[in-house]
Amino acid sequence: MKIGFIGLPNPGHLNPMSALARQLQSRNHDVVMFSVPVGESIARAAGLPFVPFAEREFSTDKLGEIVGRMSRLKGEVGLRFTVNSIAALNEVKWRTLPNLLSSTGIDALVVDNYDFYGEIIPMRLGMPYAIVSNALHFDYSGYTPLCVYDWAHENASEAVKRNRQGVSKFTRMLIRSNAEVIAQAEKAGIKANWEDPSSLFSDRPWITQCPREFDFESSHWPDHLHYAGPFHDGKGRVDFPFPWDRLTGEPIVYASMGTLQNGNAEVFRTIADAVSKHKGLQLVLAIGNVLHPEEIEPVPNNAIVVNNAPQLELLKKASVCITHAGFNTVLEALTQGVPQIAIPVTNDQPGVAARIADKKTGKTTSLDGLDASNLSALVDEVFNNPIYRDNSRSIQKAIAKKNGLSVAADLLEQAFGLTHNPISEAAF
């Protein structure tokens, strides 16, 4: 059986998806990564076969323009832009992927939970498929807050009512953005409750990177949802150069606003200003590819500002992680037992930040109310109060015990009727 993995075109989704594909590949299964052209470097770094699609509609230059616009948006405006961009990509998939999958000999698909309505492709082909949540999973039931909101989890009836109103608002956005592809799917005979996207995979394995210990406590989850844990093993990443000789030995505050919401230079200046108030700390600031390091100046003399950083390796040395609450950055921090300071911007980040607050693995603050003095106080609190490090390390132990990559690969093998047949890691 040949398994296709369809990856959304940014590292926060492609890195965990490629790691999972690589895990199956190490078990002697035939895998192929599909994405827009920009995804090729990540797939190749993971040692995976790669097949591009949407080369014209989502060329590297055009995707760069989209990311440039997205990098400066926040809140509901940013969320709507993301949903519209994914919808535009889905229209291309509907037109091109069936023939491409057929010509490539794909027998089963792994689809990203953030690829809204992406299940219609394998449904159209009558092909087995499974769902993975590379970003925070979506709870369309309303029993817990949908991850696009920063609401705390409560069991009271009023809270559930609020949650369900939030779900309805979000799914109306999805339906409006995907109206054309929904019409085409219905014309092809696909019937679904479009107001409940989870209905498209209610009988399929659904695997989330989220450790159970980091999620809101709730007993409503369906049996086909499986908590695995982070999909990374420290291998198969694009190698970014870093001036390791500039590390001073002081405790490190590692800061990144991810690969999409990183176009606001003032946010980075505020982070630099806040950390500069702590003379015994060293800042490592990864600003992404939209801005240039000189746009962040002035920074402390011992600060290191780079566009891209080897995040996993730096988090192994870090004492605090300042983040946009991107799910993969937070999971990587938790894997190293590093407490977080979250500055959520849009998409699933408010829901991730709400879990940081709920589990007390760090502190959260509002992007709109961000200033150097308040952020400096949060750095002081998270660095010096052991509760955040202790809670992060508790989840770190749970992550290590579960081994998310192995669990997720086992589940995919079961879903597709495959035999576990590991081969030497030296081959990869």
Q: Show the DSSP H helices in 178-287 as ranges.
A: 179-187, 265-276
3-state secondary structure of 77: helix
By residue count, the chain amounts to 428
Per the confidence metrics, is the pTM higher than 0.85?
yes
- Asked if omega into 298 is within 30° of 0 (cis), the reply is yes
What pLDDT shows up at residue 234?
A: 81
Which long-range contacts link 239-246 to residues 24+ away (Cβ below 8 Å)? 239/45, 239/310, 240/306, 240/308, 240/309, 240/310, 242/306, 242/309, 242/310, 242/313, 242/314, 243/304, 243/306, 246/304
Q: Which two tokens stand for residue 236?
A: 């198969």
Per the DSSP assignment, residues forming a β-bridge with 226 are: 207
What pLDDT shows up at residue 382?
A: 98
428 residues of the chain, pLDDT tens digit each: 999 999 899 999 999 999 999 999 999 999 999 999 999 999 999 999 999 999 999 999 999 999 999 999 999 999 999 999 999 999 999 999 999 999 999 999 999 999 999 999 999 999 999 999 999 999 999 999 999 999 999 999 999 999 999 999 999 999 999 999 999 999 999 999 999 999 999 999 999 999 999 999 998 999 999 999 999 888 888 889 999 999 999 999 999 999 998 999 999 999 999 999 999 999 999 999 999 999 998 898 899 999 999 999 999 999 999 999 999 999 999 999 999 999 999 999 999 999 999 999 999 999 998 999 999 999 999 999 999 999 999 999 999 999 999 999 999 999 999 987 765 443 33
What dotted CATH number matches 244-400? 3.40.50.2000
Domain with CATH 3.40.50.2000 in the chain: 2-234+402-427, 244-400
| Phi and psi, residue 422, nearest 5° | -65, 145
Q: 340 CB contacts (<8 Å, ≥6 apart)?
A: 320, 321, 322, 323, 325, 330, 333, 334, 356, 361, 362, 363, 382, 388, 392
Tally of CB atoms within 10 A around 179: 12
Q: Cα(135)–Cα(141) distance, rounded to whole angstroms?
A: 18
CATH 3.40.50.2000 fits 2-234+402-427, yes or no: yes
Per the DSSP assignment, residues forming a β-bridge with 225 are: 206
What pLDDT shows up at residue 422?
A: 64
Q: 95 CB contacts (<8 Å, ≥6 apart)?
A: none
Q: Cα(102)–Cα(243) distance, rounded to whole angstroms?
A: 46
Q: Cα(182)–Cα(175) distance, rounded to whole angstroms?
A: 8
Q: Please give the single-letter amino acid code of residue 92.
A: V
